[in-house]
Structure formats: structure tokens, C-alpha cells
Amino acid sequence: MKIGIKRFFDFERSDAKLAAVLITPTFLLVIGVVAYPLIYSFVMSFGDVEFARIKDYNFVGISQYVKTFTDPEFINSVQVSAKFVFFTVLVKLVLGTLIAVMLKEKFIGRSITRAFIIIPWATPFVVVGLMWKWMLHSKVGVINFLLERLGIIHDYIPFLSTKTFAMPFVITADVWQGTPFFVIIILAGLQTIPEELYEAAHMDGASGIKAFFSITLPMIRYPLFISSILGTILAINSFDLFFVLTKGGPGNITTNATLFAWNNAFKFYHLSYASAISYVILMFSMLLTIGYVVIMRKNEA
């Protein structure tokens, strides 16, 4: 027996044994805390479980899923998510690229600027929400104050409870937090472009904006892809910011799919319906992840 154990722990002979021991903790956790819950909620999404009668599971087939596609509230939340994802990722891409191009130039204070630009990324979303909520305050908010001083508005506006402005400002706050991540990824991509390419283009009379479109953009297409996909997945899952800034309001103008799922689970206690909604969100994320893995593999090869 003793010899058996010794032989099992003889890692020098077999990679597989050592690998098994080394990856076990990670996979136990990931299986226990990710895969098992995933199956759990999958089963739940085909039932009719409510929090009040939690043990009472009746199989109802795909009717929760049918409900999602006919529920105007859910359809609205998907539209909110789509709008949010589209604008936040687009703005981050454009701003991220412009800022990265600037930060690639040589200027006084470049390294400190590069360091400081990461700060928003380290800021917890709850703090981001609160910061912007305070700056957007309807009576003493600094943004109202500045806009009035500049003559852009005449009266203070309660931005976050206004149908027109609630969503744009949630997006603004998210752009503020998320752009630095895009900058970092894109800047790293920019730094791999050999300077000779620009010199050659300059000789051919193409520089400035033309060189940007013919050299820079094509050369950073991979970091742009990666940051877009990661940014999209993050934006689909965005919750904290909505929760702190608007709680989904006014009405349901800013209730995104994730917040809608949360509300159904932890506010209305429709556990099965919430599971079905989460599964619809999950399918979207998985499709994007497949795209991500495919692109990454292609790049590695």
C-alpha cells in the first residue's frame, strides 16, 4: 500500500499524474461553483419554481422560455441591453483608439499620464455610479452647474430621472470606467507596429490621417477585435452601474436584461423565470466567447 502511494506521487515519471494533482483545486472550484450551479439553474429554467415554494418543482418544458419571448418587459430589457452595448463599445473603441494614439506620441509627462489613465479601471462600479450620481445631482450637481454657466441649459435638469438623458449618462459613466482598459490593449498593439512602416509611408507621401487608415488601423485590428468582444461581454453583464445610478428607471428605460433577471430572481422571486432569462443571456455570451476563442486561436497559430 505504502509503495502504491509512493508510486502514485512519483511525478517525475508521469506528467499526467502531476497535472491531475495540480489542476484539481482549480477544477473542483470551477466545477463546484460554476458548472454545478449552471446545471442547477438549467434544470430550474424548465420548471415553475417560486421562492415561496422552493421545494415544489414541476416540469413545465420550455414554457418559461416561451414566456421570455412574449414578455414585453423582457423584450424591452433586451433592447436596452442592445442599445447600451452598442453605444458603450463603439464609444470606447473610438475614444480608446484616439487616446492610445496620443499616448504613443512622445510628450512631457507621458509615463505619468499612462499611469494615471488606468485609475478609472481600478474604480469599483459602485463608486463609479455614486460619483456620477453626485455630479449629476438635480439641485447641486456640478454638471448642471457647469452646463448652466456655459449657457447650454437654462434650468437644472434631473438627468437620471429624465427619459432622454438617463441612458446617455449611464453610458457616459460606463465609458469613463471602461475606456482605460481599451486604451491599454490598443496601446500595447500600437507599440508592436514597426516604425519603418510609417517611414516608408512618409516617403510615399502618405502620412497623418492617411497613414492612420492604411497602416495603424489594419495593424491593430486584433487588439480592436479582442477588446470589442471582451467589452461586449462585460457590457451585457453590466449590473452595478444600472443598480446604483438608475435602478432601471425612469420606468423601465434603463432596465437591461441583467437587471431584469436580477429583479425577477431577488425582487419578485420568480426563480424559474429568472433562470430562463439568465440562460438566454448566457447563450448570447457563449456565442461571443466562441468567436473570441476562434480569433485567439487563429492569432496564436
Partner 1 sequence: MKHSNMKTKFYTSKKTKRIMLYFFLTITMAFFLFPFYWIVMTSIQPKDQLYAPTPNFIPKNINFDNYINILGAGKVNIAIALKNSLIVAVSVTVVCIVFGIFAAYAFARLKFKGSNILFIALIFAQMLPPVALLIPFYLIFKQLGLTNTLQGLVIMQTSWLLPIVTWILYSYFKTIPRDLEDSARIDGASKVGALLKIIVPVSLPGLVSSGVICFVFSMGEFMGAMAIINVTRFHTLPLALAQFVTKYSIEYGKITASAVLTVIFPVAFVLLFQRYIVKGLTAGAVKE
Residues 179-218 that bind partner 1 (CB under 8 A): 179-181, 184-185, 188-189, 192
| Residue numbers 43-102 binding partner 1 by CB under 8 A | 44, 54, 98-99, 102
Q: Which is nearer to partner 1, 25 or 72 (CB)?
A: 25
Could you tell me the three cell numbers for 180?
482605460
**Residue 138 binds partner 1, judged by CB under 8 A:** no
Q: Which is nearer to partner 1, 2 or 149 (CB)?
A: 149
Q: Quick one: DSSP state of residue 118?
A: T
**Residue 165 binds partner 1, judged by CB under 8 A:** no
DSSP states along 126-180: HHHHHHHHHHT-TTT-HHHHHHHHTTS-SS---GGGSHHHHHHHHHHHHHHHHHH
**Residue 286 binds partner 1, judged by CB under 8 A:** yes
The piece of 56-64, 74-82, 110-118, 163-171 that touches partner 1 (CB under 8 A) is: 110-118
User: Which residues does 203 contact at the CB level (< 8 Å), separation at least 6?
Assistant: none
The piece of 72-80, 81-89, 159-167, 219-227 that touches partner 1 (CB under 8 A) is: 219-227
* Residue 123 neighbours by CB distance under 10 Å: 13
The piece of 77-85, 105-113, 198-206, 210-218 that touches partner 1 (CB under 8 A) is: 105-113
**Residue 15 binds partner 1, judged by CB under 8 A:** yes
Displacement of CA 112 from its chain's centroid (Å): 27
User: Which residues does 37 contact at the CB level (< 8 Å), separation at least 6?
Assistant: none
Question: Least distance from C-beta 72 to partner 1, angstroms?
Answer: 20
User: Which residues does 87 contact at the CB level (< 8 Å), separation at least 6?
Assistant: 171
User: Which of residues 79, 123, 163, 199 is near partner 1 by CB under 8 A?
Assistant: 123
C-alpha Rg value of the chain to the nearest Å: 25
Distance, CA of 50 to CA of 267 (rounded, Å): 11
- Give kind and range of the element (H or E) at residue 300: helix 271-300
User: Which of residues 206, 222, 250, 252 is near partner 1 by CB under 8 A?
Assistant: 222
The piece of 56-64, 77-85, 161-169, 285-293 that touches partner 1 (CB under 8 A) is: 285-293
Q: Which is nearer to partner 1, 1 or 119 (CB)?
A: 119
